[in-house]
Amino acid sequence: MPYKIKATDGFGVRNLDKKSWKSKGTTRAKAEAQANLLRGVEHGWRPTGKAARGSRKRKVSAPRSKVKRRGRKVPGSFMGQYL
């Protein structure tokens, strides 16, 4: 279904096949965003609320300490619990 942005009282998105309005009286940027959303849904895209993979920020991990850990030090009286 083709969607077209038309200037009405503001801007609106119109479905040209069904001749129905999807929105009216909004800004041009919002109308373009809605038209893109409707075209994506038409082609099988499902909105999840997450950002696209390419636009996600990568997590920066904290720097690791350079001291190597060599196991847990356990007092001799508790050795029975760990064996």
The tens place of each residue's pLDDT in the chain, 83 residues long, gives 699 999 988 999 999 999 999 999 999 999 999 999 999 999 998 888 887 777 767 777 776 666 666 666 666 565 556 55
Q: Residue 28 and residue 83: Cα distance in Å, rounded?
A: 70
Pairing mode, strands 20-26 and 3-8: unpaired
Find how far residue 12's CA is from the centre of its chain. Answer: 25
Amino acid occupying residue 6: K
